[in-house]
A and B are shown apart, each in its own frame.
Chain A
């Protein structure tokens, strides 16, 4: 017991203060929201891979989640429109308690891993009333990762149907948004929103946990631009 207490004391409190205070700075090499100035044409955040060897110049900004698929397409004329809060009725239902079921559908698993990180003491997701639950029947919505492989399509639809109305759908990562790096495969779909309606798009490969947290909190009206 003493040992447990000693270790507990040594570990201290590690939870970040975000969103009350600014989130810790991400390292300079982190590839966040692309810089549009000086770009020709448009950049679709749902289709890019955030790889360093592309023509895109990235900023350090992790806020990228949107409410609409078309808001992910950035160009000189189109400023970033980050996710908006749900309407009042929905906020009343979900604002203080949101239970989510995650469905992994054909991705590489990095998206799931960095979603899981929100449950660590650093991000401590439960302090916002957001929790991941085991049964779709206990859930208010689903978070889908991966390009919805042909073999997962039916299981995904069944899980979606098992969630009581009203329900939220979140597409996490480039694969779920557009098929991502696998979009040329006959096994992959071309975007979750071509299968079920989506309320929140969180781009990245995988999205940084802060991108996901920021998106969820915007959806719940806890952060506004």
Chain B
């Protein structure tokens, strides 16, 4: 069944296949031109779990949705992962959330250490009382000269917690396993229920550096379910905020990359410049991360001609500054020597893993929701895709630089010609028993929210997917054969969200 970004479908219209049919269809489509965008469980009416898969047909801007039922007595199905790597983390999530066994899953380990959502016996006994990593069976490499390095959960800097287990031979990393879950606070169940005013605040706190991206996705789901069409002006303001968010994060990342390559001047400048964009968000929304802007029905803060003019003046100045400093960074031989050839992911591997966003683009994948699944403002303003060629740290840095310039161009084009009109029209009640999807190109990549409405005007199930969910495995994979001292740099080049993964 075809769906589009921002579209909705009644639960009863989602095709139900047999378990074999479901599996075969997903594998067939994904071995052709589709991609596994989402795979999740929700409760069916008679207590069984319904697994739904959403496949992305990037070239046609289409989404295909299909489902199958898993009975509560025989809570198992044949794993997809053994034939489709993209399903790996989704299946682990389903096993943990719904106590359903994916038979033959090659890497079945807990993800976030919590008890399942249907009060059945957990697949991992007593999981919710264990501390991570607990008895987690890390993959171990044998041999006399092999040694193991464990890092985290508490790291050296002011960053989020996670555990990294390296298997090394001398300096060389043979294998890296990343165990997260420390940031788990149970956002998905909190988003469910009737209090949408609270849910929108939660959506702003899925990943603080992506508050605009995730709250936009949440609002689009509610708007889709309530048939609310937001004004062109509200769409424009959301898009402006999304690009400011991208700019702040990309610039901060370039600074951090310079720092890890041992070049300090640019990291200080970029660090401060990142603040300039956060301050624009502050001027617009009253919060440096844009919390408080997006609400179902539009936005809460307007941009008048004065503000638009002021923003443009500043952005022109910022653009010049950026060009100066980024020329400095990208012309340092010592920096380039550290960036080039480190943490390479080939286009074939990127496709297999299912990388999204800037990490995918750095490995030549043409994935950008703003282009492939354009909605809102992006239907009228085309941003060219920024692709890297080499799939290494250098490519991930270069894609950021290109996107910064393109976001600036976009803002300078949109701000002077903002549409007139209202910024907010309250969204009405949501259609019951309906599923809606929204895709947003956050600065890291593809965000997907799926909301399933209940009959009382709230959500029966809310599924969140941060791009980091796809990309963490990419980071682990990129480290193979690298030196352990390259890890910080390579990690920065992905800069993934722990919170967005752990939910």
Contact = CB atoms under 8 A, between A and B. Distances in A.
Q: Which 7 A-B pairs have the closest CB atoms?
A: A110-B208, A29-B286, A134-B156, A108-B208, A108-B205, A185-B186, A27-B283
Contact of B271 (A51, A53, A121): A121
B328 A7 contact: yes
A187 B201 contact: no
Interface string A115-130: 1110111100000000
Given A29-B285, A154-B131, A53 B292 contact: yes
A146 to B, nearest CB: 7
Size class of the contact patch on chain B: 35 or more
Given A109-B498, A152-B153, A206-B208, A120 B272 contact: yes
Contacts of B287: 30-31, 50, 205
Of the candidates A4, A53, A108, A188, the one having the most CB atoms from chain B within 10 angstroms of its own CB is A108
B324 A186 contact: no
A208 interface: yes
Contacts of A188: 185-186
B208 A104 contact: no
B284 interface: yes
A149 B197 contact: no
Contacts of B156: 134
A208 B343 CA distance: 35
B62 interface: no
Contact of B157 (A31, A105, A134): A134
Given A155-B182, A181-B201, A102 B324 contact: no
Interface of A: 3-4, 7-8, 10-11, 14, 26-27, 29-31, 49-53, 58, 102-117, 119-122, 132, 134, 136, 146-147, 149-155, 159, 181-182, 184-188, 205-206, 208
Contact of A7 (B204, B285, B288, B325): B325
B132 interface: yes
B77 interface: no
Given A7-B269, A29-B286, A205 B291 contact: yes
A119 B279 CA distance: 16
A117 B185 contact: no
Given A7-B265, A151-B132, A104 B159 contact: yes
A106 B183 contact: yes
Contacts of A134: 156-157
B189 interface: yes
Of the candidates B113, B185, B274, B285, the one having the most CB atoms from chain A within 10 angstroms of its own CB is B185
Contacts of A110: 205, 208-209, 211, 288-289, 291
Contacts, number: 180
B234 to A, nearest CB: 15
Nearest to A135: B156
B165 interface: no
B497 A109 contact: yes
Given A31-B287, A110-B289, A208-B288, A8 B265 contact: yes
Contact of A103 (B114, B154, B198, B324): B154
A105 B161 contact: yes
Given A30-B282, A50-B287, A110-B209, A151 B158 contact: no
Interface in B167-199: 181-187, 189-190, 197-198
A187 B275 CA distance: 32
B68 interface: no
17 contacts: A8-B265, A10-B324, A107-B499, A108-B206, A108-B207, A108-B208, A109-B183, A109-B497, A114-B288, A115-B158, A122-B272, A149-B183, A152-B182, A155-B153, A181-B202, A187-B185, A206-B289
Nearest to B300: A52
B185 A120 contact: no
Nearest to A111: B208
Contacts of A150: 128, 184
B17 interface: no
Contacts of B209: 109-110, 113
Nearest to A184: B190
B349 interface: no
B468 to A, nearest CB: 11
Interface in B110-139: 112-114, 128, 131-132
B268 interface: yes
Contact of A11 (B198, B269, B275, B282): B269
Contact of B158 (A29, A132, A154): A132
Nearest to B152: A155
B301 interface: yes
Nearest to A136: B154
Contact of B291 (A51, A116, A122, A149): A51
A31 B292 contact: yes
Nearest to B163: A155
B20 interface: no
Contacts of B268: 120-121
A116 B160 CA distance: 12
Contact of A151 (B182, B282, B300): B182
A22 B282 CA distance: 19
Contacts of A186: 186
Contacts of A113: 208-209, 289
Nearest to B290: A110
B190 A182 contact: yes
Contacts of A120: 268, 271-272, 274-275
A68 to B, nearest CB: 26
A197 B209 CA distance: 29
Nearest to A133: B156
A155 B272 contact: no
Interface in B270-321: 271-272, 274-275, 278-279, 282-289, 291-292, 295, 300-301, 321
B154 A159 contact: yes
A76 to B, nearest CB: 25
A27 B282 contact: yes
A110 B279 CA distance: 14
